[in-house]
Every structure is written in structure tokens, then in C-alpha cells.
Amino acid sequence: MAAARPCALILVSNLFEDTMNQSVQTASPSTPAPPWPGEIRVAVICAQWHADIVNHAREAFIDELARHELPPARVECFEVPGSFEIPLKAQQLAKSGRYAAIVGCGLVVDGGIYRHEFVASAVIDGLMRVMLDSGVPVLSVVLTPHRFHEHDEHRRFFGEHFVKKGKEAAEAVLKLLKG
């Protein structure tokens, strides 16, 4: 039992260096250790442009984490106006030191003037920069469909696709947190 404890402490120290001076509760031999050490927190940022579609990713992300015993109370949700603002919010959250991982969710659509390609590139490049500069895993659920139209079939299809991508992001976060 004593040999298993340092692994959890190493994970906590790698993810939350500023919490090392706080007390750590140990479980009794009859109580199983919690699956997630310390107060691991994950942030999810959702663009509000097409929120009725994008928010499917957030809900699927939270549900999948909960299925793996990372409770919804450990996930903090943030909203930004559009996908372009996601990297700035991710940077602010990464600098706070509160989050073990950050996920950005958005839908960048082709408005017919090719602007979407520049926005999508800026968002992904920005998220990568935040991750590399901070050392905090930053994942993208920012989708850029080749063609999106404001009709029920596309709204349904992309809503379902965001559910899939939200689950995939949760699986990736879980793998990253488990090392």
C-alpha cells in the first residue's frame, strides 16, 4: 500500500505544484483510494457562435469524464463569443495554474468569403501555442466543416458529431491525466 501512494503524489506534484504544502488525506485500508488525486480540475471553453450545436461537445465531455469517476464538479465551463476568442481564454486559464487540462469547443463555418480558414488556423495555432508555452494540455474540439448550412439536417449531423468529439476529448484528457 505504501508503494502505491508516491505515484499519486507525483501526479499531484506535476499537475499542481502550488498544492504541495496542503494536507493530503489518506484512505483507510478498507476504503478504496479515489481514482483522481488531489483536486484535479479540467476547464472546457465553449464558443457561443452556434452554441446549440457546440454545447453538445461540452455535455458529452462532462458525461464521459463522469463515467470514469471524474465528477462534473471538477469541470469548470467557460463561454466566449466565438472560436477566435478561445485561445485567449485558454491562455488565461493555463496561467492560473488551476487546471490539469483545458478543452476548447467551437464551430467555424464557411461564410463564403474564405475567412473561416484564417480563423480556424488562428484558433488551432493559438491553442497549440498556449499548450507549448504553459505545459498544460490544451485540446481542440473546434470543427471547421467544409460546408455547413443552417438547416435541420446539418444542425442534427453536427450536433451528433460534437457529441462524438466531446467523448473523444474526454478520453484524451483521461489518458493525459493518467500519464
Residue of 146, 162, 170 lying closest to 51 (CA atoms): 162
Catalytic residue, candidates 115, 129, 147, 156: 115
Match 479515489 to its residue by C-alpha cell.
Answer: 34
Per DSSP, the three-state class of 46 is strand
| 75-80 vs 101-107, strand pairing mode | unpaired
Distance CA 107, CA 103 (A): 14
Confirm whether 155 is a catalytic residue.
no
H/E stretch holding 151 reads none
Cell numbers at 76, concatenated: 469548470
DSSP result, 99-127:
-SEEEEEEE----SSSHHHHHHHHHHHHH
H/E stretch holding 76 reads strand 75-80
The residues annotated with a catalytic role in the active site are 115
